[in-house]
């Protein structure tokens, strides 16, 4: 690689010559040519050609590692012991960063959000070498982008749902970026940092991020007060209105109930009267209710639950998602929320979609205990079936 005349001009400039103090280099020229090869090719030191020396000798020469050789086996014959001298230098020669360097960069990148959301908890886990939902310190950009999404959604989703692709394009010039970081969004918005984790749609819906803004569907006995002051009676079988157009909803008569329903099929069947004529208000949550939905729901309950004869219910899937939705709805108002058709012991012959895992049973029990549904939680933990709402018999509360 180097001509002899070139080497002659630089040979005396390098350390490790025979007349230098300390250890004499075995082959300065080969080492220098190895450095030139790395600079020209951009390859990692591990790929150094054999004619330019052993890669581990290069690591030793650059004070990355210290090697103890078995001299009985000859030069470069056998390594007895290797000691790491500099993790940073070794990682650099490998074309990587140390885990600690990743953490330091993550801590700096996330510093604007450390005091809110759950960023501090994430950093603490990364600091001790743990991952969170498969994310590690080198994934800090995903957490940072998720913080931006959450801040934007909290500002914009109070009145109406947000088209996810539009917001993603506005924030990142990439219409699919938000969907690619749903794991980071889940970590920052979930109630706990432990599994089971939520489905993508549940995470996004909870932030009011949707492919296409959906109307709130309502059926039964109710009167809708619109934002412009006009009122409409909910027609048969149902009505769908934009969340931003609804001021509140009230029951048409005293007493009755407010029943939220998780799944569209069940809502349609109840609205069509297949379980009898509704004596209360039925509202479709569209899975995990969005912030815009929760605003309408809270305003509705503020008036409706002033009547002591009104009871509010929720009917959802008998699984972790169903209970997380119920908990979100429960927190919208101080009145009790009763679970409707979510006790599996009532349906011994119904075939389960799957068996609940231990993490799922534990999470359902935790939610149930925290919200006054201990009996149902214990029942589900013992039963172990995940049952979808659509396979259960259609029934409505009585008044």
pLDDT-derived band of residue 316, with 50, 70 and 90 as boundaries? Answer: very high
b/e sequence 168-193, b meaning 16+ C-beta within 10 Å: beeebeeeebbbebbbbbbbbbbeee
Higher pLDDT, 82 or 183: 183
**Domain 216-391: top CATH class:** alpha beta
The mean pLDDT value of the chain amounts to 86
> How many other C-beta atoms lie within 10 A of the C-beta of residue 149?
26
CA-wise closest residue to 372 among 343, 320, 330, 340: 330
In three-state secondary structure terms, 72 is helix
State the pLDDT at residue 22: 41
pLDDT-derived band of residue 41, with 50, 70 and 90 as boundaries? Answer: confident
288 and 208 in contact (C-beta within 8 Å)? no
397 and 381 in contact (C-beta within 8 Å)? no
Higher pLDDT, 283 or 38: 283
For residue 298, pLDDT over 50 is answered with yes
14 and 20 in contact (C-beta within 8 Å)? no
What are the tens digits of pLDDT across the range 160-195? 899 999 999 999 999 999 999 999 999 999 988 888
State the pLDDT at residue 99: 83
State the pLDDT at residue 124: 94
Higher pLDDT, 5 or 309: 309
pLDDT-derived band of residue 64, with 50, 70 and 90 as boundaries? Answer: low
Report the range of poorest mean pLDDT among 74-83, 126-135, 312-321, 331-340.
Answer: 74-83
CA-wise closest residue to 391 among 361, 351, 359, 342: 351
Higher pLDDT, 27 or 65: 27
State the pLDDT at residue 21: 46
Residue intervals in the chain for CATH 3.40.1360.10: 216-391
State the pLDDT at residue 23: 42
State the pLDDT at residue 214: 87
Mean pLDDT, range 260-270, rounded to an integer: 97
> How many other C-beta atoms lie within 10 A of the C-beta of residue 323?
27
CA-wise closest residue to 331 among 306, 314, 307, 348: 314
What are the tens digits of pLDDT across the range 220-232? 999 999 999 999 9
CA dist., res. 221 & res. 48, Å (int):
78
Q: Any idea how long the chain is?
A: 399
State the pLDDT at residue 71: 65
pLDDT-derived band of residue 375, with 50, 70 and 90 as boundaries? Answer: very high
CA dist., res. 379 & res. 384, Å (int):
8
Report the range of poorest mean pLDDT among 55-59, 153-157, 341-345.
Answer: 55-59
Helix (H) or strand (E) segment spanning residue 294:
helix 291-304
pLDDT-derived band of residue 313, with 50, 70 and 90 as boundaries? Answer: very high
Cα distances from 347 to residues 276, 337, 367, in angstroms, run 20, 21, 22
Mean pLDDT, range 211-238, rounded to an integer: 94
Higher pLDDT, 36 or 184: 184
> How many other C-beta atoms lie within 10 A of the C-beta of residue 4?
8
Report the range of poorest mean pLDDT among 190-194, 201-205, 367-371.
Answer: 190-194
CA-wise closest residue to 227 among 316, 296, 326: 296
For residue 367, pLDDT over 80 is answered with yes
For residue 359, pLDDT over 90 is answered with yes
pTM for the structure as a whole: 0.74
What are the tens digits of pLDDT across the range 10-27? 777 666 555 544 444 456
How many Cα atoms sit within 13 Å of 163 on the Cβ side? 6
């Amino acid at each position: 690689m180097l001509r002899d005349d070139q080497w002659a001009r630089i040979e005396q400039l390098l350390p490790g010559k025979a007349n230098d103090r300390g250890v004499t280099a075995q082959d300065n020229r080969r080492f220098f040519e190895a450095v030139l090869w790395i600079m020209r090719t951009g390859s990692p030191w591990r790929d150094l050609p054999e004619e330019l020396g052993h890669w581990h000798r290069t690591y030793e020469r650059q004070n990355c590692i210290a090697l103890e050789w078995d001299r009985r086996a000859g030069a470069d014959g056998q390594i007895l012991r290797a000691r790491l001298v500099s993790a940073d230098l070794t990682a650099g020669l490998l074309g990587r960063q140390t885990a600690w360097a990743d953490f330091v960069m993550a801590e700096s990148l996330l510093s604007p959000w450390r005091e809110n959301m759950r960023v501090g908890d994430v950093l603490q886990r990364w600091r001790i070498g743990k991952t969170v939902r498969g994310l590690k310190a080198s994934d800090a950009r995903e957490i940072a982008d998720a913080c931006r999404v959450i801040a934007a959604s909290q500002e914009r989703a109070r009145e109406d749902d947000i088209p996810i692709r539009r917001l993603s394009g506005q924030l990142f010039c990439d219409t699919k970026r938000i969907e690619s970081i749903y794991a980071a969004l889940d970590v920052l918005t979930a109630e706990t940092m432990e599994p089971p984790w939520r489905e993508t749609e549940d995470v996004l819906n909870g932030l009011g991020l949707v492919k296409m803004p959906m109307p709130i569907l309502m059926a039964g006995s109710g009167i809708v007060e619109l934002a412009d002051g006009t009122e409409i009676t909910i027609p048969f079988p149902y009505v769908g209105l934009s969340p931003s157009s609804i001021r509140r909803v009230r029951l048409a008569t005293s007493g009755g109930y407010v029943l939220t329903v998780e799944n569209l099929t069940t809502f349609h069947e109840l609205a069509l009267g297949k379980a009898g004529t509704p004596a209360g208000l039925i509202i479709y949550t569209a899975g995990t209710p969005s912030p815009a939905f929760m605003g309408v729901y809270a305003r509705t309950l503020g008036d409706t639950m002033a009547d002591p004869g009104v009871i509010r219910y929720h009917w959802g899937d008998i699984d972790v998602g169903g209970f997380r939705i119920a908990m979100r709805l429960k927190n919208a108002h101080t009145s009790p929320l009763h679970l409707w058709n979510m006790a599996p012991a009532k349906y011994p012959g119904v075939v389960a979609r799957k068996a609940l895992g231990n993490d799922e049973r534990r999470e359902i029990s935790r939610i149930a205990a925290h919200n006054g549904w201990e009996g149902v939680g214990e029942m589900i933990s013992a039963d172990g079936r995940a049952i979808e709402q659509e396979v259960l018999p259609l029934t409505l509360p009585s008044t």
